[in-house]
Amino acid sequence: MKATIIGLGLIGGSMALDIQRLYENVLIIGIDSNEDHLNEAISLGLIHRKGNLKDDLDGDFVILAVPVDVALLLLPKILDNIAENTIVIDVGSTKKPICEVVENHPKRSNFLATHPIAGTEFSGPNAAIENLFEDKVNILCEIERTSYKKQEKALELFRKLNMRIRYMEPKSHDKHIAYVSHLSHISSFMLGKTVIEKEKDEKDIFDMAGSGFESTVRLAKSSPAMWTPIFRQNKKQIVKSLEEYIANLSTFKSFLESDDYEAIFNEMKNTNRIKEILK
């Protein structure tokens, strides 16, 4: 069993660890534009050796786990050189642009577009952990465009990882994920910014951070290099979700300004429904 992992960050690195754990006689080859990350991946035991995009596209899996802008550039080239029985799986947070970029590629059926809903706020090879994907949802797009045998191979991997599979259209994925993931990140980043700007004495933030701030601001630790291209690719949906979010915050503020505490109570009461939804 041979797998090539392109991009040895949190997702790629964790995938490498799990594949080693779940299959027998595994050879993991790593590719990354960052030479330090490659060496780190070797010393952490994530990969067995370094590879390149010419010679190492002939294993069982190629996992493409790079920032979504880089993925758009790499995927067509990977498909140009991929071996007949190899499947390439991307794991990016936007699905429409990547499906479009290979829409008419002659090797389209060697590709499967996925989005494992798993992660932490950390990045780089050091962030890789075992069992990251256990019991997490994996959203697969345009599965019908992947050849049947390769679908089977990918589904076997996800079954071994113990993931829950959902099927969605790329456009629908990008719309929903704008609200549930991308907007959460912006909300968190801007909350962090607002508080940092205010609190010149950082000790005060630290001391008071227990009061909910820490979990709300967790995502503001995320990697700008990973998130900037996601925001770019899903700009239209994100702008829309941001407009609705800002409108809701402004309404809340106007209720406060006009001392309408019944309305404020009701806003919170109605949103408490999130308890049952997330259970």
Q: Which of residues 127-186 bind a copy of itself (CB under 8 A)?
A: 136-137, 139, 164, 166, 176-177, 179-181, 183-186
118 near a copy of itself, rule: CB under 8 A: yes
- The answer to whether the CB of 85 falls within 8 A of the CB of 114 is no
For a copy of itself, the closer of residues 100 and 204 by Cβ is 204
The token duo for 86 is: 């190899």
d(C-alpha 184, C-alpha 182), whole Å:
5
If one counts every other C-beta atom within 10 angstroms of the C-beta of residue 117, the result is 16
Could you tell me which of 86, 92, 90, 114 has the C-alpha nearest to residue 3? 86
249 near a copy of itself, rule: CB under 8 A: yes
- The answer to whether the CB of 31 falls within 8 A of the CB of 56 is yes
- The answer to whether the CB of 46 falls within 8 A of the CB of 68 is no
Helix (H) or strand (E) run with residue 27 in it = strand 27-31
103 near a copy of itself, rule: CB under 8 A: no
Number of residues that bind a copy of itself (CB under 8 A): 91
The CB-of-15 to a copy of itself minimum distance in angstroms stands at 16
- The answer to whether the CB of 98 falls within 8 A of the CB of 230 is no
* End-to-end Cα separation, the chain, in angstroms: 38
The CB-of-146 to a copy of itself minimum distance in angstroms stands at 21
119 near a copy of itself, rule: CB under 8 A: yes
189 near a copy of itself, rule: CB under 8 A: yes
Figure out which of the listed residues 93, 94, 114, 146 binds a copy of itself, where binding follows CB under 8 A: 93
For a copy of itself, the closer of residues 54 and 275 by Cβ is 275
Figure out which of the listed residues 85, 159, 167, 261 binds a copy of itself, where binding follows CB under 8 A: 261
For a copy of itself, the closer of residues 103 and 207 by Cβ is 207
